[in-house]
């Protein structure tokens, strides 16, 4: 069965990667939908975020993942691609409350089932907001503890005015 793991991934963290790794133990393939959340002021462009995700996926999982930058409603992507499950990451009770509300939308607009996975214990406190704060405050080296090395190097390049702006 195919699953989708959608988020803004601004930027992708080791917490996200651990959810992807756990999901790949269950599902044959994962579509990682890099979405634009209109309520967020993104640090990285959609294209950059997709490239950060691509650079974070361990090589042994690359053939089983599809990186999909997407501007539309994720439910439309799910329906158009025959996705059977939606992966959602849960770190705490606050995440769960939000995710349960989102599940109602998914349940009413798709045939997909929602599966909740938590990151590995060492990444439970990792979140993109914290990593963005490190980048925005010039504390780039602190962000390196929360990101895959390839994504961190690429994010630094983007921050310094490098490719894909």
Q: Which two tokens stand for residue 10?
A: 């601004």
CA distances from 19 to 80, 82, 116, 119, 163 (A): 24, 21, 9, 5, 28
Q: Is residue 165 part of a domain?
A: no
Annotation-wise, does 125 bind a ligand?
yes
Which residues form the domain of 33?
Answer: 2-159
Annotation-wise, does 78 bind a ligand?
no
Query: 9 in the Ramachandran plot: left (φ > 0), alpha (ψ -120 to 50) or beta?
Result: left
The confidence score (pLDDT) of residue 163 equals 59
CATH number at residue 120: 3.40.50.620
Determine if the pTM surpasses 0.85: yes
Annotation-wise, does 82 bind a ligand?
no
Number of domains in the chain: 1
Q: Is residue 107 part of a domain?
A: yes
Annotation-wise, does 127 bind a ligand?
yes
Q: Is residue 164 part of a domain?
A: no
Long-range contacts for 90-99 (Cβ within 8 Å, ≥24 apart)?
Answer: 90/116, 90/117, 90/118, 91/15, 91/118, 91/119, 91/124, 91/125, 91/127, 92/124
Annotation-wise, does 97 bind a ligand?
no
Query: Which residues, 6 or more positions from 135, have their beta carbon under 8 angstroms from its beta carbon?
Result: 11, 43, 143, 155, 159
Q: Is residue 144 part of a domain?
A: yes
Annotation-wise, does 38 bind a ligand?
no
Annotation-wise, does 128 bind a ligand?
yes
Q: Is residue 76 part of a domain?
A: yes
Please list the pLDDT of the chain residue by residue as tens digits (165 residues).
999 999 999 999 999 999 999 999 999 999 999 998 787 889 999 999 999 999 999 999 999 999 999 998 999 999 999 999 999 999 888 888 889 988 999 999 999 999 999 988 888 888 899 999 999 899 989 999 999 999 999 998 988 776 554
């Amino acid at each position: 069965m195919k699953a989708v793991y959608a988020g803004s991934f601004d930027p992708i963290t080791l917490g996200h990667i651990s959810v992807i790794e756990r999901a790949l133990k269950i599902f044959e393939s994962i579509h990682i939908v890099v979405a634009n959340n209109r309520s967020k002021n993104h640090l990285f462009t959609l294209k950059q975020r997709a490239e950060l995700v691509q650079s974070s996926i361990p090589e042994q999982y690359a053939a089983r993942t599809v990186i999909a930058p997407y501007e539309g409603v994720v439910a439309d992507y799910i329906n158009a691609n025959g996705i059977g499950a939606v992966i959602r990451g849960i770190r705490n009770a606050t995440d769960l409350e939000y995710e349960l509300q989102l599940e109602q939308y998914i349940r009413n607009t798709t045939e997909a089932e929602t599966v909740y996975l938590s990151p590995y214990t060492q990444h439970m406190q990792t979140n993109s907001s914290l990593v963005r704060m490190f980048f925005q405050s010039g504390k780039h080296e602190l962000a390196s503890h929360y990101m895959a090395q390839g994504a961190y190097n690429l994010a630094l390049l983007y921050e310094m005015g490098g490719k894909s702006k």
